Amino acid sequence: MTELWRLGAGELAARIAARKLSPVELMRETLARIDAVNGAVNAVVALRDREALMGEARLAEAMPAAGPLHGLPIAIKDTVAVKGVRSTWGVPFLADFVPKEDEAMVARLRAAGAIVIGKTNVPMFAVGSHSKNPVYGETRNPYDLSVTVGGSSGGAGAALATGMLSLADGSDMMGSLRNPGAWNGVYGFRPTVGLIPPEKSDAAVTGPISTRGPMARSVGDLELLLSVQSGGAFVAAAAPARAPRVGWLGDWGGAFAFEDGLMMQAEGVLSLMEGIGWQVEPLAPPMPREALWQSWTDLRSFLLAQDHAPNWDDPARRAMLNAHILWEIERGRSMTGETLAVAAGLRRQWLDVLRALFDQVDLLVLPSAQVWPFPVEIDWPTEIAGQEMDTYHRWMEVMVPASLAGVPVINLPAGLGTNGLPSGVQLIGKAGSDAELLAWAREYEAAIGPVAVVTP
């Protein structure tokens, strides 16, 4: 008999719809899988009362299908308010916060039939790509418990990789769906900004460079969740009639440092793409790396300073913020109008450059990480291959080109390195091409086969 935790969401949903699987049976096995593996990785937090969950599963069994996620357990990223569930954002002053209503995305998931079982772990306020915080501690990588899962959707990535979840939501400002996707050997998709409606709780100015999105162990399951997250705005596309033209941006002309082995993994992906008929060509750096970095860091700091103004203004709260967040707020609060105008102008220039690039190619490829998963004890890598990292997030610079533009991008699993750890590559499309990009990603998936489910 197949262990249910090895199956994807689409297969589970089909079995439930056909009355070949009971939501009660699925919930029972989901909780058993969490019991078996979560203690090692610490990915699922704020797990709800088991009797209450079994009661909701029995109700789902007795009811007609409510939607495409009927009876499927899901845990929500702990930067999202969920009614009746402890929602902490990884910060001590929200450690006991229990929202009285769902955010809109959660309401859409429930309306589609999903059963919310708890939360997935994050860095404090989702800042930084190392999922540890003073409320729940660190999430460990199921491939090697001594290293990080990345972030900020790190708990989601580990929960998928270990079979505790078949679907997971996440969010992505600077790689928070792609980085943990790569480091857990799963798919993470950052949609075109705006495809998923922003929440009332999202700061009005964060829209252009941040979005929520899906994570899963298959592209089809990404599409399933994205259709619900987007309120039906996303519809999966048929397989493209032609092979794509792919532009390989590599190490940005030597500007980005990489740890040994990562470029070899990415080049293996390029060979696979050529093997299935895709046309791959190397591209020169289309814009100076420092111009993108300047625009990104200035806009990011300004936006985060707006988001966290209430936490900065309250001395008790400010004392509980970590160094990363304080650094961003201090930079953002000191930003001048001229600095912001330059940053916005550089972003517009990059958008123009990208439009011209996408006249030449259909897709762009970059590695999904510049380092392998690092030890959980450290906060962030301070150097890569002898190149000093001058900020807490410089080691993720390879994520900036797609993030700054707000275009769709998916992490494609790239297999395991000689160290036994997973890596990935970013497949980037033009704005609004989400369905086409995911259809091409399905071709890649068919070539590599199913991703692994890991028992730590």
Is residue 439 within 8 A of residue 422, CB to CB? The reply is no
**Separation CA 105–CA 269 (nearest Å):** 34
- Beta-strand (E) ranges in 79-163? 115-120, 132-133, 137-138, 140-141, 144-148
Neighbours of 319 (CB within 10 A): 10
**Catalytic residue check, 87:** no
Separation CA 414–CA 149 (nearest Å)? 16
Catalytic-residue membership of 152: yes
Q: Report how far residue 64's alpha carbon sits from residue 62's, in angstroms, rounded to the nearest whole number.
A: 7
Instruction: Tell the residue number behind the tokens 């792609």, with chain if given.
Output: 178
Question: Could you say which of 87, 129, 152, 166 is catalytic?
Answer: 152
Cβ burial of 29 (10 Å; 0-12, 13-18, 19+) is middle
**Among candidates 4, 230, 20, 28, which has minimal Cα distance to 117?**
28
The closest alpha carbon to 419, from 4, 194, 109, 141, belongs to 141
Give the active site residue among 77, 119, 132, 430.
77
Contact indicator for 129, 112 with CB cutoff of 8 Å: no
Beta partners for 411?
188, 426
Over the range 85-120, which residues count as b (16 or more CB within 10 Å of their CB) and which as e? bbbbbbbebbeeeebeebbbbbebbbebbbbbbbbb
Of residues 447, 434, 454, the one with CA closest to residue 193 = 434
Catalytic annotation present for 218: no
Of 87, 129, 171, 176, which one is the catalytic site residue? Answer: 176
| β-bridge mates for residue 426, sequence order | 366, 411
- Across-strand partners of 215? 168, 188
d(CA 64, CA 27): 17
Polymer length in residues for the chain: 456
The residue type of 310 is P
CA distance 25 to 15: 12
> Which residue numbers are catalytic?
77, 152, 176
